[in-house]
A and B are shown apart, each in its own frame.
Chain A
Amino acid sequence: MKLKELESHLSHVENFSNAKEYLEQYMTTPHLAARMIYTAQTQYDDIENHLLIDLGIGTGMLSIASCLLNADHIFGFDCDIDALNLCQSNIKEFELESNIDLIQADLRRIRLPVDLHRIIADTVIMNPPFGTKPFSSSTENQDELCLTGIDMHFLQYARQLARHSIYSLHKTSTRDHIYKKAKDWNMNMDVLAVLQFDIPKLEKKRSNRKTSTASNAPLKSIEVDFIRFEIKDNTND
């Protein structure tokens, strides 16, 4: 399938009608998703006939793109049931019910038992929240999460779940920090592209944050790296 054709198919993925501000929800655009997955397949052969995991599946955009490029099967995780319902409806629209399975889980809360014997995905794909805003829900580790950035948390899980590679998006401003983490976690890191991202501009202090939606918020432009991580140690014990 050609890139333009893929992008055209993805234009049928339905967007959030009431994106939740405190979860930093927004749809990965068909334009971006098509390019991410097309690159992952044509340059690295990481999609076709592979098992994938999508962390923070949201509307299902990245997973649907991957199925259109012949991924074997995908497990998608998201903490929000409304997102999962939207995702399910998008999956139905594309008739991919037997290709994508959904699980509701909160990556901020699960203590993943790190069992390397149970790595089951070849490739992890994700467009994680960037954590530019402090969370309003009260968790005991809230401060810690704000400091480290929720996207690093996602990346850490991705590292535990991926056998070969991870495709992710992170703020360009955090690139050095991520290089260090990648090194610590024994991964190669390649910045494949730098993009201008328009995400809804969400203010830190607003009393109605839990109920307000991002759909009508003014847009803010940030620089984002599209990164491919490759797992270096392939021990099979």
Chain B
Amino acid sequence: MLTSNILKGVTRGFPLKIKADKMEHISVDYNRDFIARIIPRIEYDALRAAVNDLGLNESLPEAMSETLQQDDEFLKTMHKVLLEYEVEEGELICPETGRKFPISKGIPNMLLQETEVS
């Protein structure tokens, strides 16, 4: 899940929508310091949108305040959402053009066709 958040930010400049055909729930050791370090770097709105797209049963507050970033419950939820959900098969979809980028074995394929490169 972390990748899709980053890609939303970097590759297209605006959030890509995400669709999953196969999701995996994995168990990852909770590292509070790591989560605390990483959440200020996250595009929070994009992450909430992804959680929504995927219909995950996790509730993320509308905004991420300073106090929230210290809250253990919130950090644990962020840990789950960022690290424990993996889209194995699915798609990232450009909201502007509808162009679909397939995700296979957890790897998004951002390769462009010759005709797409201006």
Q: Write the residues of chain A forming the contact surface with B, with a CB cutoff of 8 angstroms.
A: 49, 51, 72-73, 75, 79, 81, 84-85, 88, 97-98, 101-106, 109-113, 115, 118, 120, 139, 161
The closest CB in chain B to the CB of A87 belongs to B107
Cα distance A110–B1 in the bound complex, in angstroms: 22
> In the complex, are the beta carbons of B111 and A104 less than 8 A apart?
yes
Q: How big is chain B's contact interface, by range?
A: 20 to 34
Known: A98-B26, A104-B108, A104-B111. 10 other contacts (CB 8 A): A49-B37, A51-B41, A72-B37, A72-B38, A75-B3, A85-B105, A101-B2, A104-B110, A115-B10, A118-B9
Contact B83 A98 (CB under 8 A): yes
Of the listed residues B28, B110, B112, the one surrounded by the most CB atoms of chain A closer than 10 A to its CB is: B110
Query: Chain A residues with Cβ under 8 A from B107's Cβ?
Result: 81, 84, 88, 102-104
| A88 close to B105 (CB less than 8 A) | yes
**Cβ-closest chain B residue relative to A163:** B41
Inter-chain CB contacts under 8 Å: number: 68
B7-24 interface mask toward A, CB cutoff 8 Å, 1 = contact, 0 = none? 101111100000000000
- The majority secondary structure among interface residues of chain B is mixed
- Please tell me if the beta carbons of B111 and A106 are within 8 angstroms of each other in the complex: yes
Q: Which 4 A-B pairs have the closest CB atoms?
A: A113-B13, A101-B3, A105-B110, A118-B9
Is A104 touching B83 in the complex (CB atoms < 8 A)? no
Docked complex Cα distance between A104 and B118 (Å): 20
CB-CB < 8 A to B109: which residues of A? Answer: 81, 104
Known interface pairs A73-B2, A84-B107, A88-B105; A103-B7 also in contact (CB < 8 Å): yes
Q: Chain A residues with Cβ under 8 A from B7's Cβ?
A: 103
Q: Quick one: which of B31-62 are within 8 Å of A by CB?
A: 34, 37-38, 41
Q: B96 contacts which chain A residues (CB < 8 A)?
A: none
CB distance B110 to A120 under 8 Å?
Answer: no
The yes or no answer to B93 lying at the interface (CB within 8 A) is no
Residues on B with beta carbons closer than 8 Å to the beta carbon of A109: 111-112, 117
Shortest Cβ distance from A105 into B: residue: B110
Is there a chain A Cβ closer than 8 Å to B6's Cβ?
Answer: yes
Q: Are the CB atoms of B3 and A118 closer together than 8 Å?
A: no
B66 interface hit (Cβ, 8 Å): no
B3, B11, B28, B34: the one contacting A72 at CB < 8 Å is B34
A118 neighbours in B (Cβ, 8 Å): 9-10, 13
Give the complex CA separation of A101 and B107 in angstroms. 8
- The interface residues of chain B lying within 8 Å CB-to-CB of A73 are 2, 34, 38
Residues of B within 8 Å of A101, CB to CB, are 2-3, 6
